[in-house]
Chain A
Amino acid sequence: MSNSGLGRIIKDGLWGSNQALVALLGLCPLLAVTNTAINGLGLGIATTAVLVASNGTVSLIRNLVRSEVRLPVFVLVIASFVTAIELSMNAYFHELHKILGIFIPLIVTNCAIIGRAEAFASKNNLLRSLVDGLSVGVGFTLVLVTLGGMRELIGQGTLFDQAHLMFGAAAEGMSLSLGSDFQGMLLAILPPGAFIGLGLIIAIKNLIDKRLAQTTETKPEAIESGAEAGAS
């Protein structure tokens, strides 16, 4: 029973209560590093790794920690994982680490992570917490990559520029470019572009949700009439 509803957890993490689009948590890194798709992907993967590890650990120790001291303990757990991830990024993706800079250590302060630890992992078992961490992280990463790709395309006319920072020299063919005479809209890369872009993405999500709600409202009638037709 306790492991049921994993599908629901995944759906919520990716879409229904997406941390970036619905909860609007973790906006500081979200807005600051998404000037290219690769930067967004790098930070997204780092955040996802921290989320999975911290959710799992918090879930394991949830019955050992008294509720009075739970928040400092959660922060310590998260900070340890962030340190580990920061050091390994520095070792394996040194260039990307240099670009993302302060925003890797700042994952500690990402409200989405402590939010999931407090709201989910401290009340659920290991498997559910891991699944939640992964789906929330992937949902967050998708928004980072979408926003980063959007701003990169409009602002400098490229997509997946500098992909080799992440995937090695073989990925250099991934980079797309609209040509060197493309006069990009600088505003998209500057901070206001992040706010406007996020606003547009949220608007599109709400529009899709509204359309989905309309179709599910009309669907039961269609099924009923179909059933009647079949019966007769």
Chain B
Amino acid sequence: MQFQTFSSPHTDRPNSVDKVMLQVILALLPGVLAMTWYFGPGVLINIVIATLSAVAFEALVLKLRKRPVMPTLHDLSAVVTAILFAIAVPPLLPWWLTVIGMAFAIIMVKQLYGGLGYNPFNPAMAAYVLLLISWPIPMTSWLPPAVLSTNPLDFMQIVSAIFTGSPPTGLEWDAITMATPLDGMRTNLDQGQMISEISQSPVWGDFGGLGWEWVGNWFLMGGLWLIYKRTITWHIPLAFFAGLTGLAMITFLFDPESYPFALFHVFSGGAILGAFFIATDPVTACTTRKGQLIYGVAIGMLVYIIRTWGGYPDAVAFAVLLLNMAAPTIDYYTRPQVFGHGDNHG
């Protein structure tokens, strides 16, 4: 048996893109399974459609750009974009909307700017916003969690709803879809109800919507694992939650009957997914430590502001895109000082 010796340094290989992307996919798994448990196999079908179309568009553009196809497909970045997009959209989204979203994400947002590493905006979130602005009704028709559903759909009904774009026979869209907890809370508050009244409804769990908070929990597990594996650092998620809960606590203490408790905002909508998996995208986020803290706090605060006073029920995608735009400027002003170049001591 031969023992090969290598010269120093004896460290592990640095993280490659393939490895990072694979870890992100693994970390998403528990949350994806929880979503499937609560919202049915439509989640998985969306992931399959999105992944297939993302990989196909990536291959197509790389061919047009006369770049090698296989190395880029192999790095799994298109797959991560596809999964993040597919779990952000409603489980019964018609298939052609998923395909349009992926075409926009991969062709316009990613490859036209030069491919992985050059895109200023998060492709999955840009595609989500494109669809939300263009087709608001299918993009906000969520299924209720399975435990609450009065008309549970079987697998074939879900497949047919996704591929034909029409509800199962004998049912109306209104009978099988429900507003998300964030949307419901907003609508009820706008109608002048108190939070103590609203929370009587069976759709609420301990902090957020029933089912939703558990999905959030499992994404939290995955996110903490990513921090443990040092794939991401704690700066952006922690700053995100600080910004979100900070503003939420102030308004909650000011008027607890009109502004929900801070943890409601953490466990509702895309907050946890956004904090660990979307805002931390290494390409589009800030790179300096101080910049990452500013970036995270700003996203968290924007999420709260848009959710509470803006025009849309959830805001993670908008907040992330706005801060993507600001990231280069934040980086510019937070660059660490080079040793020996300070001007405050002679």
Contacts and interface: CB of A to CB of B under 8 A. Distances in A.
Interface of A: 183-188, 190, 192, 196
A183 B135 contact: yes
A188 B135 CA distance: 11
B252 to A, nearest CB: 35
Contacts, number: 16
Contacts of A196: 108
A199 to B, nearest CB: 9
Main secondary structure of the interface of B (DSSP, over half): helix
B104 to A, nearest CB: 9
Interface of B: 100, 108, 130, 133-136
A187 B132 CA distance: 9
A162 B100 CA distance: 29
B165 to A, nearest CB: 9
A185 B139 CA distance: 13
Given A183-B135, A185-B100, A185-B134, 8 more contacts: A185-B135, A186-B134, A187-B130, A187-B133, A187-B134, A190-B133, A192-B133, A196-B108
Contacts of B135: 183, 185-186
Contacts of A188: 134
A179 B131 CA distance: 21
Contacts of B134: 184-188
Q: Which residue, B130, B133, B134, has most C-beta atoms of chain A within 10 A?
A: B134
A185 B133 CA distance: 8
A192 B132 CA distance: 14
Contacts of B136: 186
16 contacts: A183-B135, A184-B134, A185-B100, A185-B134, A185-B135, A186-B133, A186-B134, A186-B135, A186-B136, A187-B130, A187-B133, A187-B134, A188-B134, A190-B133, A192-B133, A196-B108
A31 to B, nearest CB: 17
A170 B112 CA distance: 44
A140 to B, nearest CB: 26
A203 to B, nearest CB: 9
A196 B134 CA distance: 14
A185 B100 CA distance: 10
A181 to B, nearest CB: 10
Closest 9 CB pairs of A and B: A187-B134, A185-B134, A186-B134, A187-B133, A187-B130, A186-B133, A183-B135, A190-B133, A186-B135
Nearest to A190: B133
Nearest to B133: A187
Nearest to A193: B134
Contacts of A185: 100, 134-135
Contacts of A186: 133-136
A4 to B, nearest CB: 42
Nearest to A189: B134
Contacts of A192: 133
Q: Which of A184, A185, A192 has the most CB of B within 10 A?
A: A185
Contacts of B100: 185
A185 B99 CA distance: 13
A183 B134 CA distance: 9
Contacts of B108: 196
B298 to A, nearest CB: 22
Nearest to B138: A183
Nearest to B165: A183
A212 B22 CA distance: 45
A196 B133 CA distance: 15
Nearest to A183: B135
Nearest to B94: A183
A196 B108 CA distance: 9
A54 to B, nearest CB: 38
Nearest to A185: B134
